[in-house]
């Protein structure tokens, strides 16, 4: 037969085990960060060619806890870039602009994004950041 101290100790251990088991059963699974690919668009309307003209080259890099990526393209204002998924991602971008009077470098941009899906489009520039 158990004495009252042993009974209390057994009850405490049982309560502890029960709370741990219930805690494990009700804990929601967190989204695991990984990588995905998003479109980084650097349009004129975001302030990327302040001297006039059009964007004719884009270069961008991404940095996050889980991944990084680099992409560049000429002929338009968009690149397809590897980015972290469901985590803060630092994007550094630059453009080359062509106006009637010649070509010039647009301002460099450094923004934070938080991608939540594959092929999401981010519109970045000195005027800020927006997405679809």
**Would 91 be classed as within a structural domain?**
yes
Q: How many domains does the chain have?
A: 1
Helix (H, G, I), strand (E, B) or coil at 66: coil
- Whole-model pTM: value is 0.74
b/e code 27-48 from CB counts within 10 Å (16+ = b): eeeeeeeebbebbbbbbbebbb
**Would 29 be classed as within a structural domain?**
no
**Would 81 be classed as within a structural domain?**
yes
pLDDT at position 7 over 70: no
Domain housing 125 = 34-131
pLDDT in tens, 14-64: 445 444 444 444 443 445 568 999 999 999 999 999 999 999 999 999 999
CATH number of domain containing 59? 2.60.40
**Would 10 be classed as within a structural domain?**
no
**Would 85 be classed as within a structural domain?**
yes
Residue with tokens 């992409």: 71
**Would 5 be classed as within a structural domain?**
no
**Would 95 be classed as within a structural domain?**
yes
DSSP per-residue string spanning 77-122: SEEEEEEEESS-EEEEEEEEEEETTEEEE---EEEEE---STT-EE
């Amino acid at each position: 037969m158990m004495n009252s101290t042993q009974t209390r100790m057994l009850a405490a251990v049982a309560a502890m085990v029960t709370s741990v088991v219930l805690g494990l059963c009700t804990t929601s699974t967190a989204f695991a960060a990984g990588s995905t690919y998003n479109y980084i668009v650097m349009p004129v309307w975001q302030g990327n060619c302040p001297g006039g003209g059009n964007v004719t080259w884009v270069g961008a890099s991404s940095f996050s806890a889980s991944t990084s990526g680099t992409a560049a393209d000429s002929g338009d204002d968009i690149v397809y870039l590897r980015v972290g998924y469901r985590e803060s991602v630092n994007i550094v971008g630059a453009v080359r602009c062509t106006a009637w009077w010649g070509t010039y470098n647009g301002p460099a941009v450094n923004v934070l994004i938080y991608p939540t899906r594959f092929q999401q489009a981010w519109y970045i520039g000195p005027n800020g950041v927006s997405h679809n």
